[in-house]
């Protein structure tokens, strides 16, 4: 049985549960009400914790793995391995100034009082840039520190930036980009590692599917070479003859981020009747 910790409630909860569900894992209890749940169809126990506690629980082996913001891992620096970046919970750790305080590069921070919950990351940043500033540790609502006269600037998590704006602050520098990560205890038993590998295989199949589209089209045979070059697919595309002589049907996959560009080029190369469909799972 593998034990995994996820956030009990908060910004990472829905996506973490969704990730397990998409991996075909059915939870036996209602995850909104319990502190632990066992999967009905996979050797997995889920423990619901505050995100701040997850790195330490994984480090100590109380749980084998966990899903937490990379920002928390980089601040707490537990001895754990980051085994997968999960693509949700995206945010950035930024320096923000009151809107009327001038910013002329990092040196503007010199001598300032900076409020943050991320003391270690901030101190490293200040050291790297040879800035002397006073760091004030605050555990929450960092954004109000400047207006209370407690600090001259802040260092905090930003996603849309609307909280900064509402507090009369503006983002002046991004120090770190973060997203949710899967962390694991590096010393876990081989049988647990085996279960984690199975879980990661499923997550990978889902992510690959999301990053690709299935594409189906008709092409005149004399254009097939050009079209195949545009659609290399996983190994190579499938080509089948159409009932109409001189024409073929071609099946392939295409990466989501280049999909629209490829579509235009396919049309120009003579492809017709192009169909595009989402994929459910994809194993490379």
Summarize as ranges the residues that interact with ligand PRT (CB under 6 A).
7, 10-12, 50-52, 69, 71-72, 89, 91, 143, 156-163, 178
Q: Which does 158 bind (CB under 5 to 8 A by kind): Zn ion, ligand PRT, none?
A: ligand PRT
Residue (72 or 217) nearer to ligand PRT, CB: 72
Q: Which does 69 bind (CB under 5 to 8 A by kind): ligand PRT, Zn ion, none?
A: ligand PRT
Cα–Cα distances in angstroms (integers) from residue 129 to residues 90, 109, 153, in the given order: 25, 10, 16
What is the contact surface with Zn ion in residues (CB under 5 A)? 51-52
The distance of closest approach from Cβ of residue 93 to ligand PRT in the complex, given in angstroms and rounded to an integer, is 9
Give me the DSSP letters along 45-91: EEEEE-GGGHHHHHHHTSSSEEEEEHHHHHHH--S-EEEEE-S-S-E
Q: Which does 123 bind (CB under 5 to 8 A by kind): ligand PRT, Zn ion, none?
A: none
| Residue nearest ligand PRT (C-beta atom) | 69
Beta bridge partners of 217: 250
- Phi, then psi, of 14 in degrees rounded to 5: -60, -45
Q: Which does 64 bind (CB under 5 to 8 A by kind): Zn ion, ligand PRT, none?
A: none
The distance of closest approach from Cβ of residue 131 to ligand PRT in the complex, given in angstroms and rounded to an integer, is 22
- Phi, then psi, of 99 in degrees rounded to 5: -60, -20
Calpha distance 172→96 (Å, rounded): 5
Q: Kindly report the CA angle at 82 between 43 and 213, in degrees rounded to 5? A: 75
The distance of closest approach from Cβ of residue 118 to ligand PRT in the complex, given in angstroms and rounded to an integer, is 10
Q: Which does 75 bind (CB under 5 to 8 A by kind): ligand PRT, Zn ion, none?
A: none
Calpha distance 205→23 (Å, rounded): 9
The distance of closest approach from Cβ of residue 145 to ligand PRT in the complex, given in angstroms and rounded to an integer, is 12
């Amino acid at each position: 049985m593998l034990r995994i910790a996820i956030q009990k409630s908060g910004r990472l909860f829905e996506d973490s549960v969704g990730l397990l569900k998409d991996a075909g894992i059915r939870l036996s209890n209602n995850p909104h009400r319990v502190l632990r749940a066992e999967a009905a169809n996979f050797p997995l126990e889920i423990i619901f914790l505050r995100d701040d506690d997850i790195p330490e629980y994984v480090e100590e082996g109380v749980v084998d793995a966990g899903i937490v913001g990379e920002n928390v891992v980089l601040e707490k620096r537990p001895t754990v391995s980051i085994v997968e970046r999960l693509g949700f919970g995206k945010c950035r750790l930024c320096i923000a100034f009151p809107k009327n305080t001038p910013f002329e590069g990092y040196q503007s921070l010199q001598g300032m009082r900076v409020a943050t919950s991320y003391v270690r990351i901030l101190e490293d940043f200040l050291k790297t840039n040879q800035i002397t500033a006073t760091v004030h540790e605050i555990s929450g609502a960092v954004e109000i520190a400047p207006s209370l006269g407690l600090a001259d600037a802040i260092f905090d998590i930003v996603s849309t930036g609307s909280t900064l704006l509402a507090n009369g602050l503006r983002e002046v520098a991004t120090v770190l980009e973060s997203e949710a990560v899967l962390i694991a205890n590096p010393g876990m038993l081989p049988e647990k590692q085996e279960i984690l590998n199975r879980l990661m295989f499923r997550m990978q199949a889902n992510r690959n599917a999301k990053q690709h589209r299935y594409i189906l089209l008709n092409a005149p045979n004399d254009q097939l070479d050009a079209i195949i070059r545009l659609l290399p697919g996983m190994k190579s595309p499938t080509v089948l003859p159409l009932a109409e002589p001189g024409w073929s049907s071609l099946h392939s996959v295409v990466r989501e981020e280049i999909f629209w560009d490829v579509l235009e080029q396919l049309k120009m190369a003579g492809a017709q009747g192009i169909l595009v469909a989402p994929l459910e799972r994809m194993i490379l």
